[in-house]
Amino acid sequence: MNVDEPRDPDIDAFSRGEADTFPEFAPIRPVLHQAAANEFPWYELGNSGGRLIRFAHRFGTYDWSHDPNHREKMRLLESYNVAEPAAPIPMPFDVLWRWLFAAVREDRFGSENVATNPIALVRIANELRRRLQTERAGGESKPADAIVEPYVADRIRRSAPARCSVITGSTPVVAFGDPSAASVATLGLNPSRVEFIDSGQLLGGQQRRLASLGSLEVDSLLGADEETVGRVVGACRRYFWRRPYRRWFDQLEAILGPLGYSYYDGTACHLDLVQSATDPTWAKLSDDQRQRLLSSDVPFLRDQLDRSSFRFLLINGSSVRAWAAATLGIEFANETGVALDGSMTAFAVGKYNKKVPVLAWSTNLQSSWGVTGARRNAIASRVSELIARGW
């Protein structure tokens, strides 16, 4: 969502974790405006229509114009343009969202999908709302997500290297958010242990952030069926709508916001060199453990980046930059840094595979020492300058 577009206070409060529910979507009553002789007629959709359109953009984007089934999907809307606006639609979350997004995006080209199928689209929006509230409360979106690329499913079904301190009962975090829907990405080392455990115990109920073997009711992901894989992927895609680790991610959100991107509207996602959470943390693993995890997981990250259409990739901290250079082959060129309070934040730029622009800075924003609001703002300003200039 562009920073200049209207916001919805209720949905914003839900996505920020300040509320566990938001009002359902009201019926849309299109009003046809007869045009002058030299103009096309147009529909006024009112506040209800505007809210639905804004909601459709809250999960990122996808290339609907190249979907070979697009026209069939739009025709199928007619069959759901009946019943009450709150009537359920038993389809996977990812299918429903893409359907809603494609319908409202095509409206920009004069299709009038919203005006001609208002009940169907409100039903879809209300179904998505119900699923989000269920997940926020610790439940599952049913049926499970259905659109999972084979290479992602293979990663979920692959076990982590033995004796590498991967948290028992955890699942691979193939992304925080949805890389296929995001425009930009941030990069880290591996998921924090707090994504899965608290005081050594797996998170459950409302506190659970991602899927666990316990929540999936399986002993292993080896040979996992499509429903189980879809639940793991769905939890990753909607991580920021569930119980995100805001203390960590909001530090990077402060950099993304001035650029016009956000984790909370799907325009940004977070990836890791290693998709497994460990206990102890990365810094306390042995060199052998780190190397085996990287050898196992970096090829998957390469696949993600190669398939992406990211406008740029942001790297937070000198440690992540060093590992990214070593494992992804990124050659960095130094840029002018930011001096503040007697210390320097260094910046460097490069490209992954001659395709994805990469920007790194040396200060770890999540550090509890030395990262003042002034330094964070200075880093955000310098990032905005470099992105605007390009390389």
**Is 177 found in the same domain as 132?**
no
Query: For residue 164, what is the DSSP state?
Result: S
Inter-residue contact 201 to 170 (CB < 8 Å): no
What letter would DSSP give residue 212?
-
In terms of pTM, does the model score above 0.85? yes
* Shared domain check, 73 and 29: yes
Most confident range, picked from 6-15, 133-142, 226-235:
226-235
d(CA 299, CA 274): 10
Looking at the structure, do residues 165 and 81 belong to the same domain, yes or no? no
Strands 201-202 and 343-352: unpaired
The confidence band for 37, taking pLDDT boundaries of 50, 70 and 90, is low
Of residues 312, 378, 382, the one with CA closest to residue 350: 312
Are 317 and 361 found together in one domain? yes
Which DSSP string corresponds to 309-323?
A: --SEEEEESHHHHHH
pLDDT tens, residue by residue, 84-140: 999 999 999 999 999 999 999 999 888 899 999 999 999 999 999 999 999 999 999
What CATH number does the domain containing 161 carry? Answer: 3.40.470.10
Look over the chain and give the mean of its residue pLDDT values, rounded to a whole number.
Answer: 94
207 with 343, same domain: the answer is: yes
Q: Does residue 275 share a domain with residue 185?
A: yes
Listed residue (142, 137, 172) closest to 297, CA to CA = 172
4 domain-assigned: no
Question: What pLDDT score was predicted for residue 5?
Answer: 54
In this prediction, what percent of the chain has a pLDDT beyond 70?
97
Query: Which of 106, 136, 166 marks a domain boundary?
Result: 136
Residue 297 has phi, psi (to 5 degrees) of -105, -25
On whether residue 141 sits in a domain, the answer given is no
Q: What is the pLDDT of residue 369?
A: 74
Q: How many domains does the chain have?
A: 2
Residue 173 falls inside a structural domain? yes
Same domain, 47 and 163: no
Question: In terms of domains, do 161 and 269 share one?
Answer: yes
Q: Of the candidates 136, 167, 187, which is a domain's last residue?
A: 136
Q: What is the largest CA-CA distance in the chain?
A: 75
Residue 143 lies in a domain: no
* In a shared domain, residues 176 and 96: no
Is 229 contained in some domain? yes
252 within some domain: yes
- The pLDDT-based confidence of 155 (bands split at 50, 70, 90) is very high
What pLDDT was estimated at residue 4? 45
If asked whether residues 69 and 14 sit together in one domain, one would say yes
Same domain, 182 and 318: yes
Q: Has residue 342 been placed in a domain?
A: yes
pLDDT digits (tens, 9 = 90+) for 198-213: 999 999 999 999 999 9
Reported for 63-67, long-range contacts at CB under 8 A and 24+ positions apart, including other chains, are 64/98, 64/101, 64/102, 64/105, 64/106, 67/102
Element containing residue 145 per DSSP (H, E)? none
Examine residue 3 and state whether it is found in any structural domain, yes or no: no
Residues 156 and 247 in one domain: yes
User: Domain boundary at 71, 103, 136, which?
Assistant: 136
| Contacts of 351 by beta carbon, 8 Å cutoff, 6+ apart | 330, 357, 358, 391
Which domain covers residue 285, as residue numbers? 150-389
